[in-house]
Amino acid sequence: MKTISLEQEINPWEAQSARFNFAAQKLNLDEGLWKVLQYPNRELIVHIPVSMDNGKLEVFTGFRVQHSIARGPAKGGIRYAPDVTLDEVRALASWMTWKCAIVNIPFGGAKGGVICDPHKMSMGELERMTRRYTAELIEFIGPEKDVPAPDINTNEQTMAWMMDTYSMHMRQTVTAVVTGKPINIGGSRGRREATGRGIMIVCDQATKKLGLRPENTRVIVQGFGNVGSNAARLMAQAGYQIIGVIEVDGALYNKHGIDVEALEKHRASTRSITGFREAESADPAELMLTECEILVPAATENQITSRNADRVKCRILAEGANGPTTAAADEILAEKGVFVIPDILCNAGGVTTSYFEWVQDRQGYFWKESVVNEQLEDIMVNAFEDVVRYAHTHSVNNRIAAYMLAIDRVAYTIRQRGIYA
C-alpha cells in the first residue's frame, strides 16, 4: 500500500479506500466494476430545523449514504455525534456493504448520521430531530429500499420514533422499516446483545485456531457501551478473564479478572466506570498497550494507528468497533504476527441479527432467543472460516482476505444482474 499522511491515515474514507483498492488489485477486479464499487451509489445531505425547548429554532445537518443495493436493500445504522462527517458516513456505508457480503445476508450497505451533541439535548429535542430527519429521508428508506438501525448515541427509542414517523407517512404500521426496535413493536430477541455475542463467537474460533483456552485468555475491552459491555459480559460468562476495561472517562485493571456484571451495576448507578472498587484505575492509553491475549477495541475509529501499533501486546485483535485500526497500522500488526479479526467480520453479529429482525417483521412471526443465537452462531462461524480460508489461499492477511471475499461476492452479483443503461 502506498505511503499516506497521518491526516489521510485517520480519515475513515481514505482508510476504507486503501483496503478496497489493495484487495481489488489482488482480485484483478475488472476496471469497470472497480469504479462501480469504489464510490457510494447515493449520498444525501439534509438540513433539519428543530424547535428547541428554549423556544429557539436550531438547524442540524444530517447525512444518509447508500453505498450499494446490488445484493438487496441498503442496511446501516444512524449515529448522533458532534464530529460526524460525510467522509465518515461514506466509509461506514461501504463497510456495511462488505460486512453484509461476508456474512452472506441479502443486504447492501448504508449509513446515516446527524451532527449534534445528544448529551446536551432533551428527549423532546431528540424526538423532534429524529422525526424530522426521518421525514426528510422518507422517499429513500423502507423495507425494500434502505433499513436503518441504531449506532453511536442512538437506541431502541430512536428506532421506535423512526418507525412511527415512517408509518404515519405510509398510513400503516411498517415495522420492517428499521431494526433494533423494542421487542413489543417488532424488535428481535437477542438483538441488543448480538454484536457482543458475535465478537465472542469469532474470538472462540480464533482462540481454538491459536491453541488457547478461554480460562487462560486475558482480555482488554476498550469501550463499555452496548457492544463492549455485552462482549465483556458474555466472554466472562464463557470463562475468559476480562482484565481491563477502557472508557472515555477512565480505565480499570485487575489482573485476576473484573466482575463484569458488578461493573455494569456500578456504571448503571453512577453513569461511569470510575470509582469501581474491585479494580484499580489505569491510564486508558497505557491499558490499550498492556499485555493480553485478546484486545477488543469496541469504541470508535482510529484507536490503533502507526503511532502505537508497534506497542500493542495482544495475540488477537478483535475489532468490535468500525475502523478502529488504520491501514498503516495493519502492516505493523502483520509484521508483529497479531491475528486480526477485522471489523467487517468481527462486529457483523449486529447486522446479522438485524437481518433476522427484518425477516421476522416481514413474516409476522417471531423466533425464540435460542433460535436467534443458534442461527447467529452458525453464520458467524461460517464467515470466520471463509475469511481464514481465503487468507490462506491467497496468502494475504485476514483483513485483505475479508475485503477480497466481500468484493468478490458483490462483484459477482453485479455481473449476474448486469448494468442497466
Mean pLDDT computed over 232-261: 93
* H or E element that contains 251: strand 250-253
Q: What is the pLDDT of residues 256-270, one digit of tens each?
A: 999 999 999 999 899
Question: Does 2 score more than 70 pLDDT?
Answer: no
State residue 328's pLDDT score.
87
State how far the alpha carbon of 78 is from the alpha carbons of 58, 93, 111, 118, 327, in Å: 20, 10, 6, 13, 24
Residue 101, C-alpha cell as written in the block: 457480503
Asked if 111 is an active-site residue, the reply is yes
Q: What is the C-alpha separation between 47 and 45, in angstroms, rounded?
A: 7
Listed in sequence order, the residues at least 6 apart from 16 whose beta carbon sits closer than 8 Å to its beta carbon are: 90, 91, 94, 95, 323
Residue 221 phi, psi dihedral angles, 5° rounding:
-115, 125
Residue 111, C-alpha cell as written in the block: 449509513
Question: Does 211 score more than 70 pLDDT?
Answer: yes
3-state secondary structure 301-369: CCCECCCCHHHCCCCEEECCCCCCECHHHHHHHHHHCCEEECHHHHCCHHHHHHHHHHHHHHHCCCCCH
State residue 225's pLDDT score.
87
Question: Does 189 score more than 70 pLDDT?
Answer: yes
327: pLDDT confidence band, cut at 50, 70 and 90?
A: confident
State residue 124's pLDDT score.
97
Q: What is the pLDDT of residues 151-183, one digit of tens each?
A: 989 999 999 999 999 999 999 999 999 999 999
Mean pLDDT computed over 313-332: 92
Q: What is the pLDDT of residues 65-120, one digit of tens each?
A: 999 999 999 999 999 999 999 999 999 999 999 999 999 999 999 999 999 999 99
% of the chain surpassing 70 pLDDT:
98
Q: Is 252 helix (H, G, I), strand (E, B) or coil?
A: strand
State residue 4's pLDDT score.
58
State residue 1's pLDDT score.
47
Listed in sequence order, the residues at least 6 apart from 360 whose beta carbon sits closer than 8 Å to its beta carbon are: 186, 188, 366, 367
Mean predicted lDDT score pLDDT of the chain: 94
275: pLDDT confidence band, cut at 50, 70 and 90?
A: confident
Among the options 75, 99, 111, 181, which is catalytic?
A: 111
Between 345 and 271, residue with greater pLDDT = 345
pTM of the model: 0.92
Question: Does 3 score more than 70 pLDDT?
Answer: no
State residue 5's pLDDT score.
63
Question: Does 356 score more than 50 pLDDT?
Answer: yes
Residue 65 phi, psi dihedral angles, 5° rounding:
-115, 125
Domains detected in the chain: 42-185 (3.40.50.10860), 194-346 (3.40.50.720)
